[in-house]
Structure 1
Amino acid sequence: MGATIRDIAEKTGVSITTISQILNGKGSRFSEATRNKVFQTAKELAYKPNFFAKNMVTNRTNTIGMIVPEVTDPFFSQMVKGAEDYLNAHDYMILLCNSSQDSTREDLYVEELLHRAVDGLIIASPNILASNVFTQLESMRKPYILLDRKRHHREEGNIYIDDYEGGYMATEHLVSLGHRKIGIITSDDSFYSVEERLQGYQACLKKHHLSISPDWIMEGDQTMAGGYNATKKLLAATDITALFVTNDQMAVGAYRAALELGITIPDDLSIVGFDDIELAEYMAPTLTTVRQPIYAIGQTAADYLLKAIQNPNEKMANQKMPLELIVRESARKLANKATHK
């Protein structure tokens, strides 16, 4: 059993009430000598505060709730790590919930996390949570940060990337390499971010006066298996020379599909992905991709949330995170740029 405030009181001769106030940051009226004695003794006894008792005094639990669509997804696991590392360094813990892309579970998790008195929430989801959940968050004055969702719900406190810009960037790279028949692997329209990447792809081809065949656009689940199945269908039905895959997990599946069809990357098919998950650098050939700063997004979300907890009346600015094209080995220049224009 750990040390208690009573143990500190017995060793120091200081009253329990005084020790409680000092340890909870409300001991400024006591002498420096008394404060130092309490802190030193607490350290010697390896005292850890009871967070439930502390919550009664400070109205804080030093706990943050975080909801992600799929914790096994390399993108979200890296984002969680960024948030968790930042929060741990500031003496906060995470309660992590995996929604499995189920909006009903997301709503339930928000309610359960509030019931457990978390100090704030980080919510990463392609879904729009029920309006009553947001009403509940705001009525309880619980700060929350939104990631990976439409930015029309509220005007402040959003951390996001420009998915349209990223889709354009990926397609522009393939066009600059001379490709004119460029396919895209996307997903269903519930993933608004992927829809915006598709729009960037379409805008880039239109700017360069390149036609787009409906056959070059294929949907799949945002998984390796989804990328594999969609790419196999696309490659079997078209003669594209390049492929933009709207996330790196799907790109892993695309590699497998190309291999089974006897298509060599990048000699027969150039591929550009999106996200720059850790695996991208270790694929063969290494994957050219649009990097979003996944770990930094998690850190920034945690930083924003702690500032909102400490200064609840201050307006939170929106934060657009930068994108970067990471050129590796999976896309090559065509010998004849005039081909298939």
Structure 2
Amino acid sequence: MITLKEIAQEANVSPMTVSNVINGNLKRVSKETADRVHAIIKKNNYVPNSAARTLSTKSSMMIALCIADNFYTDLANENYSQSPYNIDMIGIIQHFVEAEGYVLLLCGGETPQEIIDNMKTWKVAGAIFLAGFDSFIPKIEKELGVPTVFLDNVYSDGAISSINIDDYYGGVLAARFLLNQGHQNLAFASNIIHENPLLELRYKGFLEAHRQKNKDFDVNCVFNGPITYEGGIKIGKEIARHPEITGVVATADVLAIGIIEGIRLSGLSVPDDISIIGFDDIPMAKFVSPKLTTIKQNMLEKGKLTTEELFRLIEDPKALPERKMLPVEIVERFSTKNLN
């Protein structure tokens, strides 16, 4: 097998230049040189020695992605690594990470400390934390020691790199849409609101839409359950027992889709009897029947910005962290009915 030194000789560059190309450090390498080195690597089927690279750089070419699981109380009854939203985000982030020549490592643990220790063991070059880590962010920032980006958080006590959507306005949009369509009594379907900061933001936006319309909201019309398809079925059956409710805002598409099924199993239909709005606009929202009206977040852009921010920090250790918030919009399909 060809060696790194032999690649350098054939490309008429130094071994350090070849190493920079392999590791994606292209700031001081021209595109012509990088293309020439890549062509020689491809021609000779050269595979870099990952172990040697880890020892020489004190880090691997791995980016860790961690999703909150059972150590976080409000997620205790849900397998978040199996949610459609998280599966989509994993795929999107993996695409952009691999485009930079890195490998995505799904990293978990029973406690935040165990997660940190696992990442250190693998000598990851950077880390992404997806939702549910707000109270642990100071510990992660202090102890992990690598560039880190946090997705879907409401942490505001320090300077961190984070990518979020406007969850509050998403709640406003959803409730306002149904109220404008003549629905007088709405339900809000979610997990336990006060235990999840993002869900609480969506609920506050939901209430704000009522305030803007001078409408009261009956807090007895908040329905809690795990954000899963099965959880949605249970909530749908409960909602069907309240004939005064004509519209539902759910805090996730998978929950909304389960609610549709629960309502159907109760002998009612969507949207003729009850209208439903979801949140996220996962691909499944277009395939369910009826197709789901939902609050759309741009997941592709979210994943792109996340990886761009992470690699900005990796390439420049002195770079300051940045916070970014993406807008949301409503996508009208067929799960809602205008009562006006």
- The TM-score normalised by the length of structure 2 is 0.85
Q: Measure, in 2, the Cα distance between the counterparts of 1:146 and 1:36.
A: 34
What residue number does 2:66 align with? 67
1:229 corresponds to 2:229: no
How far apart, CA to CA, are the structure 2 residues paired with 1:257 and 1:43? Answer: 54
Q: Label 1:35 to 1:319 Cα distance change in 2 as closer, same or farther (>3 A).
A: closer
Equivalences for residues 164-179 of structure 1 within 5 A: 164-179=168-183
**1:168-188 per-position Cα deviation (integer Å, ceiling 9, x unaligned):** 100000011011111110211
Select 2:143's aligned residue among 116, 128, 136: 136
CA positional deviation for 1:64: 0.4
Match of 1:320 in 2: 325
User: Shift of the alpha carbon at 1:110?
Assistant: 2.5
Partner of 1:47: 46
Q: How far, CA to CA, are the matches of 2:287 and 2:168 in structure 1?
A: 27
Separation in 2, partners of 1:122, 1:294:
15
Structure 2 residue 290 is the aligned partner of structure 1 residue 285:
yes
Cα distance between partner residues in 2 of 1:303 and 1:246: 28
Q: Quick one: distance in 2 between partners of 1:40 and 1:131?
A: 44
Q: 2-side partners of 1:280 and 1:196: how far apart? A: 22
Partner of 2:291: helix, strand, or coil?
coil
Question: Helix, strand or coil for the counterpart of 1:71?
Answer: helix
Aligned to 1:186: 190
Q: Which amino acid aligns with 1:89?
A: A
Post-superposition shift, 1:8?
A: 5.8
Q: Is the 8 A contact 2:174 2:330 kept in 1?
A: yes
**Secondary structure at the counterpart of residue 236 of structure 1:** coil
Report if aligned partners of 1:71, 1:98 keep a CA contact under 8 Å in 2: no
Q: Does 1:123 align with 2:129?
A: yes
Q: Deviations over 1:190-246 (max 9, x none)?
A: 221111111111111122111211221111111111122123223314521111111
CA RMSD of aligned residues (A): 2.9
Write the mapping of 1:87-166 to structure 2, written as runs, cut at 5 A.
Answer: 87-97=97-107, 104-127=110-133, 128-129=135-136, 131-137=138-144, 140=145, 142-166=146-170
**1:21 aligned partner:** 16
Q: Give, in whole Å, the separation in 2 of the partners of 1:319 and 1:35.
A: 32
Cα distance in 2, alignment partners of residues 81 and 37 from structure 1: 30
Q: Specify the SS of the correspondent of 1:25.
A: helix
Deviations 1:123-142 (A, max 9, x none): 012243274333102xx3x1
User: How many residue pairs are counted as aligned between the two chains?
Assistant: 319
Q: Deviations over 1:83-115 (max 9, x none)?
A: 11111111111001356xxxx444422221122
Q: Percent identity?
A: 24
Change in 2 beyond 3 A, CA 1:238/1:186: farther
Contact 2:65 2:104 in 1 (8 A): yes
Change (3 A) 1:21 1:170: same
State the match for 1:272 in structure 2. 277
Structure 1 residue aligned with 2:221: 216
| Separation (CA, whole Å) in 1 of partners of 2:94 and 2:38 | 27
What is the CA–CA distance in structure 1 between the aligned matches of 2:330 and 2:223, rounded to whole Å? Answer: 23
Q: Which runs of 5+ in 1 are unaligned?
A: 27-33, 336-341
Question: How many angstroms apart in 1 are the aligned matches of 2:315 and 2:36?
Answer: 28
Please say if residues 210 and 217 of structure 2, whose CA atoms lie closer than 8 Å, have aligned partners that are also in contact.
Answer: yes
- Which of residues 196, 219, 227 is equivalent to 2:201? 196
The answer to whether the 8 Å contact 2:85/2:282 transfers is yes
Change (3 A) 1:124 1:35: closer
The answer as to whether partners of 1:63 and 1:95 remain within 8 angstroms in 2 is yes
Query: 1:297 corresponds to which residue?
Result: 302
Which protein shows a greater Rg? 1
Give the partner amino acid of 1:61.
S
Residue 7 of structure 1 deviates from its aligned partner by 6.7
Q: 1:78 to 1:41 in 2, by over 3 A?
A: closer
Counterpart for residue 338 of structure 1: none
State whether structure 2 residue 54 is matched by structure 1 residue 79: no
Task: Give the letter aligned to residue 81 of structure 1.
Answer: G
CA distance in 1 between partners of 2:330 and 2:163 (Å): 20
Aligned partners of 1:290 and 1:325 also within 8 Å: yes
Query: Where does structure 2 lack aligned partners over 5 or more consecutive residues?
Result: 22-32, 69-79
Distance 1:171 1:130 in 2: 32
State the partner residue of 1:30: none
Contact 2:149 2:160 in 1 (8 A): no
Task: Give the whole-Å Cα distance in 2 for the aligned partners of 1:201 and 1:39.
Answer: 53
Cα offset, 1:261, TM superposition: 1.2
**Do the aligned residues in 1 keep the contact of 2:237 with 2:259 (CA within 8 Å)?**
yes
Moved runs in structure 1, 4+ residues, more than 6 A? Answer: 34-40
**1:259–1:178 Cα change, 3 Å:** same
